[in-house]
Structure 1
Amino acid sequence: MVSTRKWKQKMLDEVPLSRGIMMLCAVDTGERINAEILKLPK
């Protein structure tokens, strides 16, 4: 699995800064949502 830090850095290198920041926000939110979903009893 790709390290999140490297992946985020790659995103920042490849897109304009404002878009990169929006992407990082979306990724962070997605990770938080996934963590909450994983905590729910199946």
Structure 2
Amino acid sequence: MTGENCSTPNAYILFTAFDIFLAFNAFNAFNAFKGGR
């Protein structure tokens, strides 16, 4: 990300939400792989 976060907090919130979404997807994929699905 660039320095525009300071002037646009909405973009920062959106980026954080997207990061959490990616982490959640990775966690689900790992659990599915561990379960043998």
TM-score by length of 2: 0.66
C-alpha displacement at 1:41, in angstroms? 2.5
TM-score by length of 1: 0.59
Q: Which has the higher contact order (CA 8 A, sep 6+)?
A: 1
Structural RMSD (CA): 1.6
Q: Note the 1:2-41 alignment, pairs <5 A.
A: 13=1, 16-41=11-36
Unaligned runs of 5+ in 1: 1-12
C-alpha displacement at 1:40, in angstroms? 1.1
Choose 1 or 2 for highest CA Rg: 2
Q: Give the aligned length.
A: 29
Q: Which runs of 4+ in 1 moved over 3 A?
A: none
Identity %: 3
Letter in 1 for 2:18: M
